[in-house]
Structure 1
Amino acid sequence: MRVRKLTLAAMALAAGLSLTACQNDDGTDQSAAPPAASAASSSNGGSGSAGSDQEGGTDSAGKTPDGTGDADGSGGTGGSGGSAEDGQAAKCRTDELEITAMDATVGGDTEGTVAVDLKNGGGRDCTLAGYAGVDLKTNAGTLSAERTGEEASPVVLKDGENVTFGITYPVNDTGGSGVRITGLVVTPPNETKSVTLDWPGGASLPASDEPGSPVRVGPMGSAGQGG
């Protein structure tokens, strides 16, 4: 009987030790299911998954949440277009103009005058603003005209209309051969393409050692006013 009691006591002690090993230090059972809140937290992709939907963020198109503009602060507006400002016609191109030159010297004048006419043949309105470029071809090289300094207001030419400007130069009355003029080169304002014309004025300029050019060009509409 004593042996049986010792055996039962040993079995009871072993069962108690086994039960203790299945519990945490705080007495909870690790075999129990996790709380429902913990399972829900792991299923939404983590704490950073909703960052772009938070106030002040941006969506995949780069817009702010209220749709007012781009994320870089540009407001989403496009650039302005159009080649003419304030409704003004675009500039006249060299190829659209019919350019001619004629002698406009009045008897008794101390200077000679050549009038250069620019006619709009481009089929649209266009604008000439400023001075044309004027160069004389001579037997001594190219001589560029200097501007008179008069105000150069923009001129809008309708198709078929024309405007004239003046070139003044000293008349060669020295009796010598002077500097012989062989051609006239005209470049419309704000253009780089030129046209070469016959020179309709006096055949030569007086030879001079003075610096600068004795030939002067006026603005659009200045024919006969070049001095």
Structure 2
Amino acid sequence: MFGNRRTALLVSAAIVGGAMLTTACQESDSNSKAGQGTAPAAPAANTQAAPPAAPGSATTGGNQGGGTAPAAQPPAGKSSGGQGATAAGGAGGGAGDNGSIGKCRTDDLRATAQDATITGDAERTVAVTFKNIGHNCTMSGFAGVDLETNQGPLSAKRTGQSADPFTLKSDASVSFGITYPSNDTGGSGVRITGLLVTPPGETKSITVRWPGAATLPVTDGAGSPVKVGPIGSAGQGG
């Protein structure tokens, strides 16, 4: 009986020891698995939401929240080119703004002629006067002079006098002289029928009544006997 009891105690002890060993193994396996398990996923990066766009600003597609703010626009009516820039359509300097005066034109002049022969002179003289009926203008040089005759046109030659420029004011006048030989041959000579004068630098002529002698002496073909002086050579009136 004593032996059976001892055997029973040994069996119980073995059972308890086996249970404890089993429990210890299970705990060891559990801790091992916990240490070898998959690590938890890293939390997602903290992304901040884009701030709301300022009122009135524009954004471009595909760049929301990361674009550069649009450049400020210049106020209406002003240029972005910096100081000194002017708005389009501003007044500009035109011809005549600097006070310059243009040359005298044929359409702004009125021409008259009169006999200016002085008794005793070897040659006869006709004075032609230009009156400015337009704005102030400049004039210099020689006018063109052509006599109309029964033998065709006859152009006057220029004298060797100087011709300085000057300003002919509005409503003022200036004169030049035409000289020609007197027909003292007693013959019919060359009959003068008209006079054409052209202001300096112009191509449009003015027809003027011829006030001088009716005829010129016949020449031997040595050139025109008619001569013209520079503008102002016969006096300048107001």
TM-score range with shorter-chain normalisation?
0.5 to 0.7
Pair 1:99-2:111 in alignment: yes
Q: Which of 188, 193, 205 is matched with 1:177 structurally?
A: 188
Gaps of 5+ in 2: 1-92
Give the distance between the partners of 1:178 and 1:88, measured in 2 at CA: 48
Q: Is the contact between residue 167 and residue 223 of structure 1 (CA under 8 Å) also seen in structure 2?
A: no
Q: Which of 105, 112, 123 is matched with 1:111 structurally?
A: 123
| Partner SS for 1:91 | coil
Aligned residues: 144
User: Which residue matches 2:140?
Assistant: 129
Pair 1:207-2:207 in alignment: no
Segments of 4+ moved more than 3 angstroms: 80-84
| Partner SS for 1:182 | strand
Give the distance between the partners of 2:158 and 2:193, measured in 1 at CA: 21
Q: What is the root-mean-square deviation in Å for CA atoms of aligned residues?
A: 2.0
Pair 1:145-2:152 in alignment: no
**Alignment identity in percent?**
64
Deviations 1:65-116 (A, max 9, x none): xxxxxxxxxxxxxxx97479x9552111111111000000011111000000
User: Which residue matches 1:15?
Assistant: none
Higher CA-based Rg: 2
| Partner SS for 1:156 | strand
Task: Map 1:54-65; keep pairs closer than 5 Å.
Answer: none
CA drift at 1:208: 1.1
| Partner SS for 1:135 | strand
Q: Report the AA paired with residue 195 of structure 2.
A: L
Give the distance between the partners of 2:174 and 2:218, measured in 1 at CA: 32
| Partner SS for 2:125 | strand
CA drift at 1:171: 0.5
1:208/1:121 CA distance change after superposition, 3 Å: same
Name the TM-score, length of structure 1 as normaliser. 0.60
Name the TM-score, length of structure 2 as normaliser. 0.57
Gaps of 5+ in 1: 1-79
Give the distance between the partners of 2:129 and 2:153, measured in 1 at CA: 22
Q: Report the AA paired with residue 103 of structure 1.
A: D
